[in-house]
Structure 1
């Protein structure tokens, strides 16, 4: 019988992996939990490169995991920040229709939000100005429950709380090999460490598909990295935006469009767009990893996605390369803004799962051990798709992943 270093070993110290570790330690006292992170500190990628919005859940298909976990997670996130003294605000947000063609989609969005249990106030053009005097629109929705916080700080707090309950975070521990046996799993890291566990949990984000393959599982999808590029309003013009302002999203895509976000630091972030990144950690155009790019291009889902949505992609690419085009997109919401009012800010990379037929996975996706399916993969739990609003929903996602991991542990792997 294998001697375990950990009962459950989590790969990935982003906000989802750390929420999972925290949930495991809360659910079962004395459980030996380890977290592996390839970087020098947690929350270095998706968790630390986003707009910090606590999403209400208004966008997501009723009954979906995103709808359930976002609405539950938004309330839980605000309560968590309040309990632990983390900077946060709940300013609410506007979703604004700027053309007649968007009005039916705005009405459907209001109905969807109400089906998800969210309070939605419908606004006229005049009422929009009561909240955001510089914003133009034909009609809008007001969502009071939308908030902002620093998700990197939230994740570090998860890590601290989990450590206080006995969890061990190992940084600079990139996973290089996974050996599955009937009595356990051995993980080999780049630093030479060899760790044994009863159950392995894959929360590797941008590398979740690759880790699943490393463990011998075919995830049936690939992570395609999309870079989101942000601008900020200059300090002199930041007063143009009081809170959070979003366009009406295109229902064909899981991206919310260029929006305006006043963060907890008072700076107004503008963006992001969504362009294919040339590396999984491709935060800039000059960051190219030929092997990763070739892997993406070889995947049939990538080619089908490009054929289906090339017009949308060209528009995003144009806004990435042209500040004038990006400014024009912002002016739909904020007519008085000029290119001189916008300065380049940071970028983030979204780990978007794409199926072989080119479909963008719209919901959170888990694989591996399923307590309801005795034929499912044993000793492994995979989080294969957890883009936005995963940070908002991290507490309920963590509890779900922990539930699956503990069920796998109780089943003897």
Structure 2
């Protein structure tokens, strides 16, 4: 343990672990909400937003998918508007493009109509389209029916993270990987990095994403969940003129994943994906990356086996699309019939930090828990980047309350 707390001055008031968009938004919210609060952010990589923030489709989500009243719904709707405003204020590349959600089978029509109702309950403008009207938005896309969601957009989330770091005034330390944590409720928290540096703080905020459960356990708190990493693989469309904007399938209600979709990014390129396959490491961006300790942790968690037992058919299809470009193309052609295997150029993958409970439940909403002098963000999947500003304020509120109590 790090025996350095008693009688030694603090290096900061709040120590944030994780330099992704949620950690940096939290630092930004703390310094804006309580000027003079000393904040240090530790990030193990050489720069911000190297994992989930920088390896997604760059979509500003509207909030249409999420259960009314849930944190996801509230934060996504609010966060989408705030994100557009933030990007405009700081000159960060963004565009409000709108998107189509397309039903390609009759069995999907009731779910599509359900999304219309959910969107209206969440205060999101939605337009219903017949098959012939789809071509008004996307001439190459085919389906039985669709809805158009006007508040969806795209932006440069890495640029947002950099701006949050700069505007927060917090001290950002890169290349600072956590090795040990000593938390004493009567004194505070001391953290030692792999390089041997020690940082002493009154309160710890855990925004470590793919490693958040490990940081919680280092702190001495039982997160009662484990991160099970799922890799999402993307392709770039060689003929980007086939897609004008954003096109999504009707999601499967059994999974918190949105399925393979088409995204025209701020650079004009079109990304296709992601699928969802088990990753063999928490930062396992391809099948060659295997970390036995991390894989062993996943396999030792009972919830991982419950997922496999319940959803093996779905998982088999995802694995087949991972190893076969032709199978992936078949899935894409449901929305975009003109696409061919030669149109798909492999692109960078991402890994989703999915919180899984012991019984195999995939945690669907944001999950924030507290311990003595600590706040842990234990599940912040999509739309976390979209909702990062309101999420940051909520985490900051809890951190400042812990600071006042301390």
- Distance in 1, Cα, partners of 2:201 & 2:332: 50
Match of 2:387 among 373, 388, 393: 393
- 1:27 and 1:335 map into 2 onto residues whose CA distance is 51
Counterpart in 1 of 2:244? 242
1:195 aligns with 2:199: yes
Q: Which residue of 2 aligns with 1:56?
A: 62
Output aligned runs, 1:360-379, within 5 Å. Answer: 360-368=362-370, 377-379=371-373
C-alpha distance in structure 2 between counterparts of 1:220 and 1:41, whole Å? 30
- Whole-angstrom CA distance in 1 between matches of 2:187 and 2:93: 45
Q: Is the 8 A contact 1:2 1:183 kept in 2?
A: no
- Give distance in 2, aligned partners of 1:351 and 1:229: 14
My pick for the range that moved more, 385-394 or 335-344, is 335-344
Counterpart residue number, 1:15: 21
| Runs of 4+ with deviation above 4 angstroms | none
| Whole-angstrom distance in 2 between the partners of 1:156 and 1:345 | 23
1:159-308 equivalences under 5 Å are: 159-163=165-169, 167-181=170-184, 182-234=186-238, 237-308=239-310
Gap runs ≥5 in structure 1: 369-376
Determine whether 1:91 maps to 2:89.
no
What CA distance in whole angstroms lies between the structure 2 residues aligned with 1:197 and 1:214? Answer: 15
Q: Structure 2: where are the runs of 5+ without partners?
A: 1-6
Q: Distance in 1 between matches of 2:276 and 2:178?
A: 29
1:358 to 357, 360, 366: 360
The residue aligned with 1:407 is 401
Question: Offset of 1:42 from its aligned partner?
Answer: 0.9
Structure 1 residue aligned with 2:152: 146
Aligned twin of 1:374: none
Equivalent residue in structure 2 for 1:381, among 362, 375, 383: 375
For residues 265-317 of structure 1, give each alpha carbon's deviation from its aligned partner in whole angstroms, at most 9, with x where no partner exists.
Answer: 00000000000000000001000001111110010000011101000000000
SS of residue paired to 2:385: coil
Counterpart in the other structure of 2:325: 323
User: 1:11, 1:397 → 2: CA distance?
Assistant: 15
Provide the residue aligned with 1:71 in structure 2: 77
2:129 aligns to what SS in structure 1?
Answer: strand
Cα deviation, residue 2, structure 1: 4.7
CA distance in 1, matches of 2:120, 2:9: 51
Deviation string 1:323-378 (CA, Å, 9 cap, x unpaired) is 0100000000001111111111110001000000001000000001xxxxxxxx22
Partners of 2:207 and 2:97 in 1: how far apart? 31
Secondary structure of the structure 2 residue equivalent to 1:169: strand
Q: Give the CA deviation at 1:156.
A: 0.5
Q: Give the equivalent residue in structure 2 for 1:371.
A: none
Name the structure 2 match of 1:372.
Answer: none
Pairing 1:113–2:107 present: no
1:2 and 1:184 in contact (8 A); partners too: no
Are 1:37 and 2:39 an aligned pair? no
CA root-mean-square deviation: 0.6
Residue 4 of structure 2 corresponds to which residue in structure 1?
none
